[in-house]
Chains A and B, each alone.
Chain A
Amino acid sequence: MDFFKSLTTKSLTILYALSLDKSQSLTYTIDSTKYSIMYLGGVMLKIVIGGQMDKQVIANLITQLCNGTAEVSIKSDIEAAIAVQTNQAQYYFGACATGAGGALAMAIGLIGPQSCVSVSIPGRVFGEGELREAVRSGKKAFGFVNYDAEKVIPVLLDEILKK
């Protein structure tokens, strides 16, 4: 609250970043001055595990790598894709045997192919440079072959956490 008191503007909107579960705007009254605080989005990164295979394994790996800086939740592929589509989560990870069907299909359908990429498919796994570039270019949903989870996730997360 000291932070707010130190501000002299009578009415101000603070671009407020909090890791709240639900987006909400708050109003504080300090010294009879109303401060409206607009929620913009959480700094706490939210990652959803959709796709089909090894969801728990992937969630554990991501939770461990994020070391408390991200909220990881397991959902069905549809619910997970909707979460990213409606900005309730920032990133989607999903695995299946082909890295594109059960892993990513719903995300491609709901979020759009521009935001999705299969970083590993039978016959090809993205190299480190390509993985980092995928994150940098704004991809939000990543599909991969379940066996390649440990090859792609650490690099993707490292780049995501740099953002």
Chain B
Amino acid sequence: MLFQINALTIFVMAVLGGICAYLANQNIAVFHDGLRPMFPAYFNKVIDRKTLFATSFALSFGLVIGFGLPTSIAGKIIIVHTIMLATDIFGTMFNDDVKGKWLATAVGALFGVVLLFGMQTIIDLLKVLPINFIGSLGTVGSLIILAFSVFPAIAVAYQAGVLKGGIVLALIMLVKQVTFLFGKFVVNGVTVSLNADGMALLVGIAAMVIVAAMQKKKEDGNAAEAFKVFSTNIDRIKKNIFILAISGGIVALATTLLLIAEGPASLTLTANGDYAQAAIVALGRTLGFIPLVMTTAIVSGVYSPAGTKMVHVPAILFINMGIIGMAGSFVTGALIMIVEVLLLGFIARGMDKFPGMKELGDNTRTAMSKVLDIALLVGGMLAANAIAPTIGYIWVIGLYFLNQVSKKPLSTMAIGPIGAISIGILVNILHLIGLFPIIK
């Protein structure tokens, strides 16, 4: 893994796990967007704690095991879902009384530390296998690094049709190619080189926001009216602003320490050392998640321990800046969380004013998700081929379709990482029985 295990990282993982489990237990914040709106029914005693826990477990367990762990192992940074979906489960597992509060916090903290050591142990174990495939796992994310800048074009196509989407696609390609060719120049003797993918992403996201802002207001918008009844929920979240600020700070600090990453794309870019690009991608994802996180927060009175994910953006830029970077990351993360919570009321009232922005959020999440599905699948195929040129492609293609037929399908996004890891283990087994000799 890319993180170091020392007193600081152990402490941060414990606090992160502890505070997230505490927030979930005290019904202040949960990470899964689909769990949040269950809480009003719990507050009104329509459902009990056990049902809440069962829902949380059902929604999140498969994602932790099937998506969080393999993505983290292949990417070498823990994807935030692995810890925060688990703390949703731990938080709702215990009653929200005094005893339950501390139990949940303790279990969450312990989980954070176990995850830290556990991930490193898994990597160490894989390293001692006769055929070491750890190096090839990096290939899983190779398409994200080279092609993730395509997502704004797809979001625009969903929003405004194939023609505008096509124009943005051409623009992104042009910007990347031109920056690649002419993006290096000397200013006062210092060579400045622009990152082609970063520039393409920036231009794409800008185009996406412009298209959304141009969208005309629909006449029958009645969301703001429907959201008026939820003003007490906003007050409930505001009451917890202090602890949420600490949570935002810790999430940011953990990001800066390379312990966690907010999504598969920024994870890969961060692991590759492309911090600026990773921050831009995280910003794009934040645009996508602002409507979802904020609307679910408003209807439920429960926030997210990572907020709209904006806390990750400066946190990525603070990587490798030493103690100042860590302090800066924590403080900025906390401040961002405070601003987000204070903005909730404004968002609820302005629900109908920016219809394009709400739609942009949905389309951005969809576009990113679809690009990741393909990028990680093809990346997984390339990695599997690098590990086992004879059977790698067959395995991952087969796995993809078997998963679609399955009654218990895993996230499509996870098939690439799972395929690459499993072929690595498979070739080691084949090696043991003499079917996969090491060719030198």
Name A residues whose Cβ lies closer than 8 Å to a Cβ of B. 52-54, 76-79, 82, 85, 96-106, 108-110, 112-114, 118, 121-125, 127, 143, 145, 147-148
Contacts and interface: CB of A to CB of B under 8 A. Distances in A.
Interface string B87-103: 00000000000000000
Contacts of A82: 222-223, 226
Contacts of B220: 79
Contacts of B35: 100
Contacts of B226: 78, 82, 85, 110
Interface stretch (B2-10, B61-69, B185-193): B61-69
Interface in B384-440: 404, 407-414
B409 to A, nearest CB: 7
25 contacts: A52-B362, A76-B355, A78-B358, A79-B222, A79-B223, A85-B226, A96-B366, A97-B413, A98-B59, A102-B362, A102-B365, A105-B296, A106-B295, A109-B37, A109-B299, A109-B300, A110-B299, A112-B46, A113-B38, A114-B46, A122-B62, A122-B66, A123-B61, A125-B407, A145-B411
Interface residues of B, number: 47
Contacts of A106: 37, 295-296, 299
B113 interface: no
B349 interface: no
Nearest to B61: A123
A122 B413 CA distance: 10
A148 B411 CA distance: 11
Interface in B21-73: 32-38, 40-41, 46-47, 58-59, 61-63, 65-67
B365 A52 contact: yes
Contact of A101 (B34, B300, B412): B34
Contact of A76 (B63, B358, B409): B358
Contacts of A113: 37-38, 41, 46-47
A152 B34 CA distance: 19
Contacts of A112: 41, 46
A123 to B, nearest CB: 3
B295 A76 contact: no
B250 interface: no
Contacts of A97: 365, 369, 411, 413
B292 interface: yes
A122 B67 contact: yes
Contacts of A96: 365-366, 369
Contact of A105 (B34, B61, B351, B408): B34
A148 B412 CA distance: 11
Interface of B is mostly: helix
B359 interface: yes
A125 B405 CA distance: 11
B62 A78 contact: no
Most chain B CB within a 10 A radius of its CB, from A101, A108, A114, A122: A122
A76 B411 CA distance: 24
A102 B33 contact: yes
Most chain A CB within a 10 A radius of its CB, from B33, B40, B295: B33
The list of the 3 closest CB pairs from A to B, nearest first, reads A123-B62, A100-B34, A109-B299
Contacts, number: 125
Contacts of B355: 76
B369 A78 contact: no
A26 B11 CA distance: 71
Given A97-B411, A101-B292, A106-B295, A122 B63 contact: yes
A69 B159 CA distance: 29
A145 B3 CA distance: 33
A98 B34 contact: yes
Contacts of A105: 33-34, 36-37, 292, 295-296, 299
A65 B366 CA distance: 25
Nearest to A123: B62
Contacts of B358: 76, 78
A125 B410 CA distance: 10
A97 B58 CA distance: 15
Contacts of B221: 79
A124 B54 CA distance: 14
A114 B41 contact: yes
Contacts of B366: 52-54, 96
Contacts of A52: 362, 365-366
Contacts of B40: 109
Contact of B34 (A108, A110, A114): A108
Nearest to B224: A78
A100 B369 CA distance: 15
B34 A122 contact: no
A159 to B, nearest CB: 19
Nearest to B33: A101
Contacts of B299: 105-106, 109-110
A121 B37 contact: no
A104 B302 CA distance: 16
B143 to A, nearest CB: 18
A153 B37 CA distance: 24
A125 B41 CA distance: 24
Contacts of A78: 223, 226, 295, 351, 358
